[in-house]
Structure 1
Amino acid sequence: MTTLRRQAEEYLAMRRALGFKLTTWGQRLMSFIGYLESTGAGHITIEAALTWATSTPASTDPVYWARRLDVVRIFARHLKTLDAATEIPPLDALPHRYRRITPYLYSPAEIVSLMGAAGALKPQLRGQTWQTVLGLLAVTGMRVSEACRLDRQDVDLDKGVLAVRDSKFGKSRDVPVHPSTTAALRRYDRLRDRLWPAPACPAFFISTRGTRLDASNMPADFAKLLHPAGIAPIPGRRRQRIHDLRHTFTVATLLQWYEDGADVQARLPLLATYLGHVDPKSSYWYFSGSPELLALAADRLERAFTPDTHGGGT
Structure 2
Amino acid sequence: MSSLHQALADYLQLRRSLGYKLARSEKLLRQFLVYLDDVRAETIMAEHAIAWACQPPNIKSSWHSQRLTVVRGFAHYLQSVDIPVEVPAAGALPWRPCRATPYLYTEQEIGALLKAATTLSSSLRVATYQTLIGLLAVTGMRVGEAIHLDRSDFDARDGVLVIRHAKFNKTRELPLHATTFTALQRYLRCRERQRLPERAPALFISSAGTRLLYCNVQWTFQRLVRRAGLVARTRACRPRIHDLRHSFAVRTLIEAYQTGGDTQQRLTVLSTYLGHVDPARTYWYLSASPELLGQAAERLTRGDGDRS
TM-score of the pair, normalised by structure 2 = 0.90
- Tell me if 1:74 matches 2:73: yes
Q: How does 1:142-291 map to 2 (within 5 A)?
A: 142-196=141-195, 199-237=198-236, 239-291=238-290
SS in 1 for 2:98: coil
Q: Quick one: distance in 2 between partners of 1:128 and 1:246?
A: 20
Q: How much does 1:36 deviate?
A: 2.5
Q: Quick one: distance in 1 between partners of 2:89 and 2:155?
A: 50
Q: How much does 1:21 deviate?
A: 1.7
Q: How much does 1:162 deviate?
A: 0.7
Look up the match of 1:6.
Answer: 6
Q: Structure 1's 304 and 203: CA in aligned 2 closer, same or farther, altered over 3 A?
A: same
Q: Quick one: distance in 2 between partners of 1:176 and 1:229?
A: 30
Q: Quick one: distance in 2 between partners of 1:218 and 1:209?
A: 14
Q: How much does 1:55 deviate?
A: 2.5
Q: Which moved more, 1:238-247 or 1:281-290?
A: 238-247
| Alignment gaps of 5+ in structure 2 | none
Q: How much does 1:288 deviate?
A: 1.6
Q: Quick one: distance in 2 between partners of 1:246 and 1:58?
A: 33
Runs of 4+ in 1 over 6 A off after TM superposition: none
- Tell me if 1:27 matches 2:8: no
Q: Structure 1's 222 and 38: CA in aligned 2 closer, same or farther, altered over 3 A?
A: farther
SS in 1 for 2:161: strand
Q: Structure 1's 289 and 211: CA in aligned 2 closer, same or farther, altered over 3 A?
A: same
Q: Quick one: distance in 2 between partners of 1:67 and 1:285?
A: 22
Q: Structure 1's 77 and 287: CA in aligned 2 closer, same or farther, altered over 3 A?
A: same
1:157/1:185 contact within 8 Å kept: no
Q: Quick one: distance in 2 between partners of 1:50 and 1:194?
A: 56
SS in 1 for 2:174: strand
Q: Quick one: distance in 1 between partners of 2:195 and 2:167?
A: 30
SS in 2 for 1:261: coil
SS in 2 for 1:80: helix
Look up the match of 1:312.
Answer: none
Q: Quick one: distance in 2 between partners of 1:115 and 1:259?
A: 27
Q: Structure 1's 289 and 92: CA in aligned 2 closer, same or farther, altered over 3 A?
A: same
In structure 1, what residue type is equivalent to 2:23? T
Q: Which moved more, 1:229-238 or 1:294-303?
A: 229-238
Q: How much does 1:216 deviate?
A: 4.8
2:103/2:237 contact within 8 Å kept: no
Q: Quick one: distance in 2 between partners of 1:305 and 1:270?
A: 20
Q: Quick one: distance in 2 between partners of 1:240 and 1:48?
A: 40
In structure 1, what residue type is equivalent to 2:28? R
Q: Quick one: distance in 2 between partners of 1:305 and 1:210?
A: 53
Look up the match of 1:48.
Answer: 48
Look up the match of 1:105.
Answer: 104
2:20/2:169 contact within 8 Å kept: yes
Look up the match of 1:302.
Answer: 301
- Tell me if 1:127 matches 2:139: no
SS in 1 for 2:282: helix
Look up the match of 1:309.
Answer: none
Q: Structure 1's 123 and 10: CA in aligned 2 closer, same or farther, altered over 3 A?
A: farther
In structure 2, what residue type is equivalent to 1:280? P
Q: Structure 1's 305 and 197: CA in aligned 2 closer, same or farther, altered over 3 A?
A: closer
Percent identity, aligned pairs only?
47
1:105/1:247 contact within 8 Å kept: yes
Q: Which moved more, 1:183-192 or 1:147-156?
A: 147-156
Q: How much does 1:296 deviate?
A: 1.7
Q: Quick one: distance in 1 between partners of 2:34 and 2:115?
A: 46
Q: Structure 1's 91 and 137: CA in aligned 2 closer, same or farther, altered over 3 A?
A: same
Look up the match of 1:310.
Answer: none
Q: Structure 1's 201 and 305: CA in aligned 2 closer, same or farther, altered over 3 A?
A: closer
Q: Quick one: distance in 2 between partners of 1:216 and 1:14?
A: 30
| Alignment gaps of 5+ in structure 1 | 307-314
In structure 2, what residue type is equivalent to 1:117? A
Look up the match of 2:37.
Answer: 37
In structure 2, what residue type is equivalent to 1:262? G
- For residues 244-303 of structure 1, the C-alpha deviation after alignment (integer angstroms, 9 at most, x for no partner) is 111111111111111111111122111111111111111111112212222222222233
1:35/1:52 contact within 8 Å kept: yes
